[in-house]
Structure 1
Amino acid sequence: MSAAIADVQNTPDVRNIAINKVGIKSIRHPIKVADRADGVQHTVAVFDMYVYLPQHFKGTHMSRFIEILNSHEKEISVESLESIVREMCTRLEAESGYLEMRFPFFINKTAPVSGVQSLMDYEVSLIGEVKNGVFSQRLKVLVPVTSLCPCSKKISAYGAHNQRSHVTVDAELGENIWIEEIVELVEKQASCELFSLLKRTDEKYVTERAYDNPKFVEDMVRDVAASLNAEPRIVAYVLEAENFESIHNHSAYALIEHDKRN
Structure 2
Amino acid sequence: MSTLPSNVQSATQPPTITSIEDVQGRADSRRIPINKVGIKEVYHPVRVKDRSRGEQHTVASFNMYVALPHHFKGTHMSRFVEILHGNEREISVESFREILIEMTRRLDAQSGHIEMEFPYFVMKKAPVSGVESLMNYKASLIGEFHGGEPELWLKVVVAVTSLCPCSKGISDYGAHNQRSHITIKARIDGHMWLEELIDIAEQEASCEVYGILKRPDEKFVTERAYDNPKFVEDIVRDVAVRMNDEARVLAYVVEAENFESIHNHSAYALIEHNKTAEPVQGD
TM tier, smaller: over 0.9
Matches within 5 A, 1:1-262: 3-261=18-276, 262=278
Deviating 4+ runs (over 6 angstroms): none
Q: Aligned equivalents of 1:3 and 1:72: distance in 2?
A: 29
Aligned-residue RMSD, C-alpha: 1.3
> How far 1:3 sits from its partner (Å)?
4.1
Cα 1:259/1:3, change in 2 over 3 Å:
closer
Q: What whole-Å deviation, never above 9, does each CA across 1:2-50 have from its counterpart, x for those lacking one?
A: 6411111222222222211111111111111111111111111111001
* Larger mean Cα displacement after TM superposition, 68-77 or 225-234: 68-77
Give % identity: 63
From the CA coordinates, give the structure whose radius of gyration is larger.
Answer: 2
TM-score by length of structure 1 reads: 0.96
The Cα of 1:75 is off from its aligned counterpart by: 4.3
Query: Does the C-alpha gap of structure 1 residues 75 and 43 become closer, same or farther in structure 2, counting only changes over 3 Å?
Result: closer
Does the 8 Å contact 1:113/1:201 carry over to 2? Answer: yes
Letter aligned with residue 121 of structure 1 = N
CA drift at 1:99:
0.5
The aligned amino acid for 1:234 is V
What per-residue deviation string (whole Å, max 9, x for no partner) do you get for residues 143-201 of structure 1? 11001111211221211111111111111112221000000011111110010111111
2: CA distance, partners of 1:5 / 1:245: 58
- Matches of 2:160 and 2:224, distance apart in 1: 12
Distance 1:196 1:13 in 2: 54
The whole-number CA distance in structure 2 between the counterparts of 1:3 and 1:126 is: 41
Q: TM-score, normalised by structure 2?
A: 0.89
Letter in 1 for 2:106: R
Cα distance in 1 between the residues matched to 2:50 and 2:130: 21
* 2: CA distance, partners of 1:96 / 1:256: 26
What CA distance in whole angstroms lies between the structure 1 residues aligned with 2:125 and 2:20?
Answer: 60
Distance 2:72 2:168 in 1: 62
Aligned residues: 262
Of the structure 1 ranges 245-254 and 1-10, higher mean CA displacement relative to structure 2 is found in 1-10
Distance (whole Å) between structure 2 residues aligned to residue 183 and residue 87 of structure 1? 30
Q: Using a 3 Å threshold, how does the CA distance of structure 1 residues 7 and 114 change in structure 2: closer, same or farther? A: same
